[in-house]
Structure 1
Amino acid sequence: MKYFPRRSETGIGPEALVELWRAKSQDRGWLRDSDWHCSATRVAAVMLSKRRDPDSAVRSLASRRAAQGVGIAESLTDLQALFEVFPHPDSQGLQVVFADAWVESTDLFSHQLTCWDPGSGLSNRQHFERRVHELGLELERVLERHGVPGQSLHLDVEPVPVDVRALRRLLGTLWH
Protein backbone atom coordinates (compact mmCIF):
# COMPACT_ATOMS: atom_id res chain seq x y z
CA MET A 1 0.00 0.00 0.00
CA LYS A 2 1.39 3.38 -1.01
CA TYR A 3 0.97 6.40 1.22
CA PHE A 4 1.48 9.82 -0.22
CA PRO A 5 0.43 13.09 1.37
CA ARG A 6 -1.98 15.38 -0.44
CA ARG A 7 -0.95 17.74 -3.20
CA SER A 8 2.31 19.49 -2.53
CA GLU A 9 3.16 23.17 -2.64
CA THR A 10 4.71 22.71 -6.09
CA GLY A 11 1.53 21.62 -7.85
CA ILE A 12 2.80 18.12 -8.56
CA GLY A 13 2.22 15.42 -6.01
CA PRO A 14 4.78 12.80 -5.04
CA GLU A 15 2.88 9.97 -6.75
CA ALA A 16 2.78 11.84 -10.06
CA LEU A 17 6.44 12.77 -9.65
CA VAL A 18 7.38 9.11 -9.12
CA GLU A 19 5.59 8.09 -12.32
CA LEU A 20 7.10 10.91 -14.40
CA TRP A 21 10.55 10.14 -13.02
CA ARG A 22 10.23 6.39 -13.64
CA ALA A 23 9.12 6.99 -17.23
CA LYS A 24 11.99 9.42 -17.89
CA SER A 25 14.50 7.04 -16.31
CA GLN A 26 13.29 4.19 -18.50
CA ASP A 27 13.54 6.42 -21.57
CA ARG A 28 17.15 7.15 -20.59
CA GLY A 29 18.05 3.45 -20.37
CA TRP A 30 16.89 1.93 -17.05
CA LEU A 31 16.94 -1.81 -17.62
CA ARG A 32 13.96 -3.23 -15.74
CA ASP A 33 10.86 -1.47 -14.47
CA SER A 34 10.49 -4.11 -11.75
CA ASP A 35 13.69 -3.10 -9.94
CA TRP A 36 13.24 0.67 -10.20
CA HIS A 37 10.53 1.17 -7.57
CA CYS A 38 11.66 1.20 -3.94
CA SER A 39 10.81 3.09 -0.78
CA ALA A 40 13.77 5.43 -1.38
CA THR A 41 12.27 6.65 -4.68
CA ARG A 42 9.04 7.50 -2.90
CA VAL A 43 10.83 9.34 -0.08
CA ALA A 44 12.90 11.36 -2.57
CA ALA A 45 9.73 12.31 -4.46
CA VAL A 46 7.98 13.40 -1.26
CA MET A 47 10.94 15.50 -0.08
CA LEU A 48 11.37 17.23 -3.44
CA SER A 49 7.70 17.88 -4.10
CA LYS A 50 7.28 19.40 -0.62
CA ARG A 51 10.41 21.53 -1.16
CA ARG A 52 12.16 19.99 1.83
CA ASP A 53 15.88 19.31 2.03
CA PRO A 54 16.33 16.18 -0.13
CA ASP A 55 19.91 15.48 1.04
CA SER A 56 19.12 12.47 3.24
CA ALA A 57 16.59 11.11 0.75
CA VAL A 58 19.18 11.29 -2.05
CA ARG A 59 21.77 9.55 0.14
CA SER A 60 19.24 6.84 0.97
CA LEU A 61 18.38 6.37 -2.71
CA ALA A 62 22.07 6.05 -3.59
CA SER A 63 22.57 3.42 -0.89
CA ARG A 64 19.55 1.50 -2.11
CA ARG A 65 20.67 1.57 -5.73
CA ALA A 66 24.15 0.39 -4.73
CA ALA A 67 22.69 -2.44 -2.63
CA GLN A 68 20.57 -3.46 -5.65
CA GLY A 69 23.75 -3.78 -7.68
CA VAL A 70 22.91 -0.85 -9.96
CA GLY A 71 26.08 0.67 -11.39
CA ILE A 72 27.09 4.25 -10.73
CA ALA A 73 26.46 5.35 -14.34
CA GLU A 74 22.94 3.94 -14.44
CA SER A 75 22.24 5.31 -10.95
CA LEU A 76 23.38 8.82 -11.84
CA THR A 77 21.42 8.71 -15.07
CA ASP A 78 18.36 7.84 -13.00
CA LEU A 79 19.00 10.79 -10.69
CA GLN A 80 19.46 13.11 -13.68
CA ALA A 81 16.11 11.89 -15.00
CA LEU A 82 14.56 13.00 -11.71
CA PHE A 83 16.02 16.48 -12.07
CA GLU A 84 14.84 16.67 -15.67
CA VAL A 85 11.22 16.14 -14.62
CA PHE A 86 11.56 18.10 -11.38
CA PRO A 87 14.39 20.64 -11.49
CA HIS A 88 16.14 21.48 -8.25
CA PRO A 89 18.38 24.53 -7.73
CA ASP A 90 21.15 22.38 -6.23
CA SER A 91 20.90 19.39 -8.57
CA GLN A 92 24.66 19.34 -9.18
CA GLY A 93 25.41 19.33 -5.45
CA LEU A 94 22.86 16.57 -4.93
CA GLN A 95 24.51 14.51 -7.66
CA VAL A 96 27.79 14.74 -5.75
CA VAL A 97 26.02 13.74 -2.51
CA PHE A 98 24.44 10.84 -4.37
CA ALA A 99 27.75 9.65 -5.87
CA ASP A 100 29.49 9.85 -2.49
CA ALA A 101 26.72 7.86 -0.81
CA TRP A 102 26.75 5.28 -3.61
CA VAL A 103 30.51 4.78 -3.24
CA GLU A 104 30.26 4.59 0.57
CA SER A 105 27.53 1.97 0.28
CA THR A 106 29.48 -0.18 -2.13
CA ASP A 107 32.43 -0.06 0.24
CA LEU A 108 30.22 -1.13 3.14
CA PHE A 109 28.51 -3.91 1.22
CA SER A 110 31.46 -5.04 -0.87
CA HIS A 111 32.12 -8.02 1.36
CA GLN A 112 28.46 -9.10 0.98
CA LEU A 113 27.77 -8.12 -2.60
CA THR A 114 29.56 -9.61 -5.50
CA CYS A 115 29.23 -9.51 -9.23
CA TRP A 116 30.95 -12.84 -9.61
CA ASP A 117 29.87 -16.40 -9.03
CA PRO A 118 32.35 -17.84 -6.50
CA GLY A 119 32.10 -21.33 -7.98
CA SER A 120 32.86 -20.49 -11.59
CA GLY A 121 34.57 -17.11 -11.28
CA LEU A 122 32.25 -15.83 -14.00
CA SER A 123 29.97 -12.83 -13.82
CA ASN A 124 26.60 -13.51 -12.21
CA ARG A 125 23.51 -13.12 -14.40
CA GLN A 126 22.45 -9.70 -13.13
CA HIS A 127 25.94 -8.23 -13.50
CA PHE A 128 26.35 -9.76 -16.94
CA GLU A 129 22.98 -8.41 -18.15
CA ARG A 130 23.79 -4.91 -16.91
CA ARG A 131 27.23 -4.91 -18.52
CA VAL A 132 25.86 -6.20 -21.84
CA HIS A 133 23.21 -3.50 -21.79
CA GLU A 134 25.90 -0.84 -21.01
CA LEU A 135 28.30 -2.37 -23.63
CA GLY A 136 25.38 -2.18 -26.18
CA LEU A 137 24.68 1.49 -25.38
CA GLU A 138 28.34 2.41 -25.67
CA LEU A 139 28.68 0.47 -28.93
CA GLU A 140 25.71 2.40 -30.34
CA ARG A 141 27.40 5.68 -29.41
CA VAL A 142 30.67 4.65 -31.06
CA LEU A 143 28.93 3.49 -34.21
CA GLU A 144 26.90 6.72 -34.41
CA ARG A 145 30.05 8.81 -33.89
CA HIS A 146 31.77 7.08 -36.83
CA GLY A 147 28.70 6.92 -39.06
CA VAL A 148 28.58 3.12 -39.15
CA PRO A 149 25.10 1.60 -39.51
CA GLY A 150 24.38 -0.72 -36.58
CA GLN A 151 22.93 -3.39 -38.89
CA SER A 152 26.33 -3.80 -40.56
CA LEU A 153 27.93 -5.09 -37.35
CA HIS A 154 28.13 -8.86 -36.77
CA LEU A 155 29.53 -10.64 -33.74
CA ASP A 156 31.10 -14.08 -33.69
CA VAL A 157 30.44 -16.12 -30.59
CA GLU A 158 32.79 -18.90 -29.65
CA PRO A 159 32.39 -21.29 -26.72
CA VAL A 160 35.00 -20.93 -24.00
CA PRO A 161 37.49 -23.79 -24.37
CA VAL A 162 38.11 -26.13 -21.46
CA ASP A 163 41.73 -26.79 -22.42
CA VAL A 164 44.09 -24.25 -20.77
CA ARG A 165 46.25 -23.72 -23.87
CA ALA A 166 43.23 -23.18 -26.10
CA LEU A 167 41.82 -20.73 -23.55
CA ARG A 168 45.09 -18.77 -23.51
CA ARG A 169 45.05 -18.68 -27.31
CA LEU A 170 41.49 -17.34 -27.33
CA LEU A 171 42.23 -14.70 -24.71
CA GLY A 172 45.39 -13.73 -26.52
CA THR A 173 43.39 -12.91 -29.66
CA LEU A 174 41.44 -10.28 -27.75
CA TRP A 175 44.44 -7.98 -27.51
CA HIS A 176 45.89 -8.37 -31.00
Structure 2
Amino acid sequence: MLPVHAREQWRSASAASVWLRPDDWYHPAVDAVLEALLAGADPVPAAGRLGEVRSECGVGIGESIDDLACLYRSLRLEGPSLDVVRALCDGWAAAQDAVPVNAQCVDPETGLPTVEYLRVRLAETYGVAARRGERAGDRHALLVVDVAVGMRDPWARIARSAVVGQALVQSYGDGQPMASLGEGVFLLLVERDAELGTRATALRDRLTSHARRLGVETLVRQPPRVWVESLPPTHARLVELLSHLAR
Protein backbone atom coordinates (compact mmCIF):
# COMPACT_ATOMS: atom_id res chain seq x y z
CA MET A 1 0.00 0.00 0.00
CA LEU A 2 1.30 3.46 -0.92
CA PRO A 3 2.42 5.45 2.15
CA VAL A 4 0.27 8.59 2.19
CA HIS A 5 3.01 10.58 3.91
CA ALA A 6 5.36 9.99 0.97
CA ARG A 7 2.84 11.47 -1.46
CA GLU A 8 2.22 14.42 0.84
CA GLN A 9 5.96 15.06 1.17
CA TRP A 10 6.17 15.23 -2.61
CA ARG A 11 3.11 17.47 -2.86
CA SER A 12 4.40 19.82 -0.16
CA ALA A 13 7.87 20.08 -1.70
CA SER A 14 6.41 20.84 -5.11
CA ALA A 15 3.78 23.31 -3.88
CA ALA A 16 6.38 25.18 -1.83
CA SER A 17 8.78 25.68 -4.71
CA VAL A 18 7.62 25.00 -8.28
CA TRP A 19 3.93 24.11 -8.58
CA LEU A 20 1.76 27.04 -9.62
CA ARG A 21 -1.72 25.76 -8.65
CA PRO A 22 -1.64 23.36 -5.66
CA ASP A 23 -5.26 22.29 -6.11
CA ASP A 24 -4.58 20.60 -9.45
CA TRP A 25 -1.43 18.71 -8.45
CA TYR A 26 -2.88 15.31 -7.62
CA HIS A 27 -3.69 12.68 -10.22
CA PRO A 28 -3.53 8.87 -9.82
CA ALA A 29 -0.53 8.96 -12.18
CA VAL A 30 1.58 10.46 -9.40
CA ASP A 31 0.93 7.36 -7.28
CA ALA A 32 2.23 5.09 -10.03
CA VAL A 33 5.57 6.93 -10.18
CA LEU A 34 5.86 7.00 -6.41
CA GLU A 35 5.02 3.31 -6.08
CA ALA A 36 7.65 2.36 -8.65
CA LEU A 37 10.38 4.29 -6.85
CA LEU A 38 9.45 2.97 -3.41
CA ALA A 39 9.36 -0.59 -4.72
CA GLY A 40 12.69 -0.25 -6.53
CA ALA A 41 10.94 -0.88 -9.87
CA ASP A 42 11.54 0.88 -13.18
CA PRO A 43 9.78 4.29 -12.99
CA VAL A 44 10.09 5.00 -16.73
CA PRO A 45 6.62 3.77 -17.84
CA ALA A 46 4.91 5.62 -14.98
CA ALA A 47 6.89 8.79 -15.74
CA GLY A 48 5.67 8.66 -19.34
CA ARG A 49 2.07 8.45 -18.19
CA LEU A 50 2.63 11.31 -15.74
CA GLY A 51 3.97 13.44 -18.59
CA GLU A 52 0.81 12.74 -20.62
CA VAL A 53 -1.43 13.67 -17.71
CA ARG A 54 0.43 16.89 -16.95
CA SER A 55 0.27 17.95 -20.60
CA GLU A 56 -3.44 17.15 -20.88
CA CYS A 57 -4.09 19.31 -17.81
CA GLY A 58 -2.27 22.27 -19.34
CA VAL A 59 0.83 22.04 -17.14
CA GLY A 60 3.99 23.28 -18.87
CA ILE A 61 6.91 20.95 -19.43
CA GLY A 62 9.19 23.02 -17.20
CA GLU A 63 6.80 22.81 -14.27
CA SER A 64 6.41 19.07 -14.90
CA ILE A 65 10.17 18.42 -14.84
CA ASP A 66 10.63 20.51 -11.71
CA ASP A 67 7.80 18.63 -10.01
CA LEU A 68 9.46 15.31 -10.84
CA ALA A 69 12.73 16.58 -9.38
CA CYS A 70 10.85 17.49 -6.19
CA LEU A 71 9.75 13.85 -5.88
CA TYR A 72 13.32 12.60 -5.94
CA ARG A 73 14.45 15.22 -3.44
CA SER A 74 11.56 14.42 -1.10
CA LEU A 75 12.62 10.75 -1.15
CA ARG A 76 16.30 11.69 -0.81
CA LEU A 77 17.10 9.95 -4.09
CA GLU A 78 19.65 11.00 -6.66
CA GLY A 79 18.07 11.87 -9.96
CA PRO A 80 15.82 11.78 -11.85
CA SER A 81 17.87 9.97 -14.47
CA LEU A 82 17.86 11.05 -18.09
CA ASP A 83 15.75 8.00 -18.96
CA VAL A 84 13.04 9.12 -16.55
CA VAL A 85 13.17 12.73 -17.76
CA ARG A 86 13.02 11.45 -21.32
CA ALA A 87 9.91 9.38 -20.58
CA LEU A 88 8.21 12.36 -18.94
CA CYS A 89 9.02 14.58 -21.94
CA ASP A 90 7.94 11.96 -24.47
CA GLY A 91 4.61 11.54 -22.70
CA TRP A 92 4.11 15.29 -22.46
CA ALA A 93 4.92 15.76 -26.16
CA ALA A 94 2.62 12.92 -27.24
CA ALA A 95 -0.29 14.56 -25.44
CA GLN A 96 0.56 17.92 -27.02
CA ASP A 97 0.48 16.36 -30.48
CA ALA A 98 -3.11 15.28 -29.87
CA VAL A 99 -4.24 18.83 -29.06
CA PRO A 100 -5.58 20.98 -31.94
CA VAL A 101 -3.24 23.82 -32.85
CA ASN A 102 -4.51 27.20 -31.70
CA ALA A 103 -2.99 30.64 -32.05
CA GLN A 104 -1.40 31.60 -28.75
CA CYS A 105 1.21 33.93 -27.32
CA VAL A 106 3.04 31.39 -25.14
CA ASP A 107 5.20 28.51 -26.31
CA PRO A 108 4.25 25.47 -24.17
CA GLU A 109 7.74 23.96 -24.36
CA THR A 110 9.59 26.95 -22.96
CA GLY A 111 6.88 28.86 -21.12
CA LEU A 112 8.15 31.92 -22.99
CA PRO A 113 6.34 34.19 -25.43
CA THR A 114 6.33 32.87 -28.98
CA VAL A 115 8.84 34.21 -31.49
CA GLU A 116 5.93 35.80 -33.38
CA TYR A 117 5.05 37.80 -30.27
CA LEU A 118 8.69 38.83 -29.83
CA ARG A 119 8.79 40.04 -33.43
CA VAL A 120 5.80 42.29 -32.69
CA ARG A 121 7.56 43.75 -29.63
CA LEU A 122 10.70 44.36 -31.65
CA ALA A 123 8.71 46.17 -34.35
CA GLU A 124 7.13 48.32 -31.65
CA THR A 125 10.58 49.16 -30.29
CA TYR A 126 11.69 50.43 -33.68
CA GLY A 127 8.48 52.42 -34.04
CA VAL A 128 8.85 54.10 -30.65
CA ALA A 129 12.49 54.97 -31.35
CA ALA A 130 11.59 56.50 -34.70
CA ARG A 131 8.94 58.71 -33.12
CA ARG A 132 11.54 59.92 -30.64
CA GLY A 133 14.01 60.68 -33.38
CA GLU A 134 16.36 57.98 -32.05
CA ARG A 135 17.82 54.68 -33.18
CA ALA A 136 16.32 51.56 -31.65
CA GLY A 137 19.79 50.52 -30.52
CA ASP A 138 20.26 53.68 -28.44
CA ARG A 139 18.16 52.30 -25.60
CA HIS A 140 17.82 48.60 -26.36
CA ALA A 141 19.89 45.59 -27.41
CA LEU A 142 19.46 41.88 -28.00
CA LEU A 143 20.76 39.32 -25.54
CA VAL A 144 21.47 36.07 -27.38
CA VAL A 145 21.67 32.73 -25.58
CA ASP A 146 23.03 29.67 -27.40
CA VAL A 147 22.86 26.34 -25.56
CA ALA A 148 22.91 24.03 -28.60
CA VAL A 149 24.85 20.77 -28.35
CA GLY A 150 23.86 19.22 -31.70
CA MET A 151 21.17 16.81 -30.46
CA ARG A 152 18.16 15.69 -32.46
CA ASP A 153 15.93 13.71 -30.07
CA PRO A 154 12.61 15.53 -29.56
CA TRP A 155 12.54 14.73 -25.82
CA ALA A 156 15.97 16.29 -25.34
CA ARG A 157 14.88 19.45 -27.16
CA ILE A 158 11.80 19.69 -24.93
CA ALA A 159 13.79 19.23 -21.73
CA ARG A 160 16.41 21.75 -22.81
CA SER A 161 13.76 24.29 -23.82
CA ALA A 162 12.07 23.95 -20.44
CA VAL A 163 15.29 24.38 -18.48
CA VAL A 164 16.39 27.45 -20.45
CA GLY A 165 12.92 28.99 -20.40
CA GLN A 166 12.76 28.69 -16.61
CA ALA A 167 16.22 30.20 -16.16
CA LEU A 168 15.34 33.16 -18.39
CA VAL A 169 12.13 33.89 -16.50
CA GLN A 170 13.88 33.53 -13.14
CA SER A 171 16.58 35.96 -14.27
CA TYR A 172 14.44 38.58 -16.03
CA GLY A 173 10.90 38.03 -14.76
CA ASP A 174 7.55 37.64 -16.49
CA GLY A 175 6.79 40.19 -19.18
CA GLN A 176 10.33 40.46 -20.51
CA PRO A 177 10.28 40.24 -24.34
CA MET A 178 12.06 36.96 -25.09
CA ALA A 179 11.56 33.79 -27.10
CA SER A 180 13.15 30.68 -28.50
CA LEU A 181 14.41 30.92 -32.08
CA GLY A 182 14.78 27.14 -32.23
CA GLU A 183 17.83 24.86 -32.35
CA GLY A 184 18.93 25.92 -28.86
CA VAL A 185 19.03 29.66 -29.55
CA PHE A 186 17.07 32.10 -27.38
CA LEU A 187 16.67 35.84 -27.71
CA LEU A 188 15.81 38.64 -25.30
CA LEU A 189 15.08 42.30 -25.95
CA VAL A 190 16.83 44.15 -23.11
CA GLU A 191 17.50 47.74 -22.11
CA ARG A 192 21.00 49.14 -22.46
CA ASP A 193 22.12 50.05 -18.95
CA ALA A 194 25.07 49.68 -16.62
CA GLU A 195 23.87 46.23 -15.48
CA LEU A 196 23.62 44.65 -18.93
CA GLY A 197 26.96 42.83 -18.83
CA THR A 198 26.60 41.76 -15.22
CA ARG A 199 23.14 40.32 -15.81
CA ALA A 200 24.33 38.45 -18.90
CA THR A 201 27.08 36.78 -16.86
CA ALA A 202 24.64 35.93 -14.07
CA LEU A 203 22.28 34.39 -16.62
CA ARG A 204 25.02 32.14 -17.98
CA ASP A 205 25.80 30.92 -14.46
CA ARG A 206 22.12 30.36 -13.69
CA LEU A 207 21.66 28.31 -16.86
CA THR A 208 24.56 26.06 -15.88
CA SER A 209 23.42 25.55 -12.28
CA HIS A 210 19.76 25.02 -13.22
CA ALA A 211 20.63 22.32 -15.77
CA ARG A 212 22.91 20.62 -13.26
CA ARG A 213 20.24 20.70 -10.54
CA LEU A 214 17.75 18.97 -12.85
CA GLY A 215 20.31 16.42 -14.05
CA VAL A 216 20.18 17.50 -17.71
CA GLU A 217 23.52 19.31 -18.00
CA THR A 218 24.51 17.10 -20.95
CA LEU A 219 21.65 18.64 -22.94
CA VAL A 220 22.98 22.18 -22.52
CA ARG A 221 26.20 23.63 -23.96
CA GLN A 222 28.81 23.95 -21.21
CA PRO A 223 29.26 26.78 -20.64
CA PRO A 224 26.28 28.35 -22.42
CA ARG A 225 27.10 31.13 -24.87
CA VAL A 226 25.53 34.44 -23.85
CA TRP A 227 26.33 37.66 -25.68
CA VAL A 228 24.96 41.12 -26.42
CA GLU A 229 24.00 41.89 -30.02
CA SER A 230 23.39 45.50 -31.04
CA LEU A 231 20.08 46.27 -32.71
CA PRO A 232 20.62 46.99 -36.43
CA PRO A 233 19.83 50.53 -37.63
CA THR A 234 16.68 49.46 -39.49
CA HIS A 235 13.91 46.94 -38.92
CA ALA A 236 14.66 45.34 -42.29
CA ARG A 237 18.22 44.65 -41.15
CA LEU A 238 16.82 43.22 -37.90
CA VAL A 239 14.78 40.67 -39.87
CA GLU A 240 17.99 39.56 -41.60
CA LEU A 241 19.77 39.28 -38.26
CA LEU A 242 17.00 37.13 -36.75
CA SER A 243 17.16 34.78 -39.71
CA HIS A 244 20.91 34.47 -39.25
CA LEU A 245 20.65 33.82 -35.50
CA ALA A 246 17.96 31.18 -36.07
CA ARG A 247 20.35 29.37 -38.45
Q: Is TM-score (shorter-chain normalized) higher than 0.5?
A: yes
CA distance in 2, matches of 1:24, 1:138: 22
TM-score, normalization: structure 2? Answer: 0.42
Which 5+ residue runs of structure 1 have no aligned equivalent? Answer: 7-12, 147-171
Provide Cα deviations, 1:73-132, integer angstroms capped at 9, x if missing partner: 11111111112122256622211111112111211x222xx6x5xxxx667xxx9xx879
1:100 to 64, 82, 90: 90
Which structure: greater strand fraction?
Answer: 2
TM-score (norm. length: structure 1): 0.57
Structure 1: distance between partners of 2:43 and 2:89: 14
Quick one: distance in 1 between partners of 2:51 and 2:166? 24
Name the CA shift for 1:101/1:122 in 2 (closer, same or farther; >3 Å).
Answer: closer
Q: Does 1:23 align with 2:53?
A: no
Q: C-alpha deviations, 1:117-176, integer Å up to 9, x for none?
A: xxxx667xxx9xx879x9998555237x74xxxxxxxxxxxxxxxxxxxxxxxxx9xx9x
Aligned pair 1:142/2:172, yes or no? Answer: yes
Over 3 Å counting, the alpha-carbon distance change for 1:90 and 1:73 in structure 2 is closer
Q: How does 1:156-171 map to 2 (within 5 A)?
A: none
- Structure 2: 5+ residue stretches without partners: 114-161, 174-197, 200-234, 239-247
**Residue among 24, 33, 39 paired with 1:50:** 39
Aligned length, in residue pairs: 125
Match of residue 84, structure 1, among 59, 73, 77: 73
Q: Secondary structure of the equivalent of 1:70? A: coil
Quote how far apart the aligned CAs of 1:37 are. 0.4
Poorly superposed stretches of 4+, deviation over 4 Å: 134-140
Percent identical among aligned pairs is: 24
Identify which of 46, 50, 66 aligns with 1:61.
50
* Structure possessing the higher relative contact order (Cα contacts under 8 Å, 6 or more residues apart): 2
Query: How many angstroms apart in 2 are the aligned matches of 1:84 and 1:141?
Result: 23
Cα separation, 2, equivalents of 1:137 and 1:93? 22
Answer whether contact 2:36 2:42 (CA < 8 A) is retained: yes
| Superposed displacement of residue 28, structure 1 | 2.4
Mark the CA change 1:137 to 1:28 in structure 2 (over 3 Å): closer, same or farther. Answer: farther
Indicate how the Cα distance of structure 1 residues 54 and 38 shifts in structure 2: closer, same or farther if over 3 A, else same. same
Contact 1:25 1:78 in 2 (8 A): yes
CA distance in 2, matches of 1:142, 1:67: 28
| Partner SS state of residue 18, structure 2 | coil
Shift of 1:66: 0.6
What root-mean-square deviation, in Å, do the aligned CA atoms of Structure 1 and Structure 2 show? 3.4
**What CA distance in whole angstroms lies between the structure 2 residues aligned with 1:101 and 1:74?**
14
After superposition, the Cα gap between the structure-2 partners of 1:61 and 1:139, relative to the gap in structure 1 and judged at 3 Å, is closer
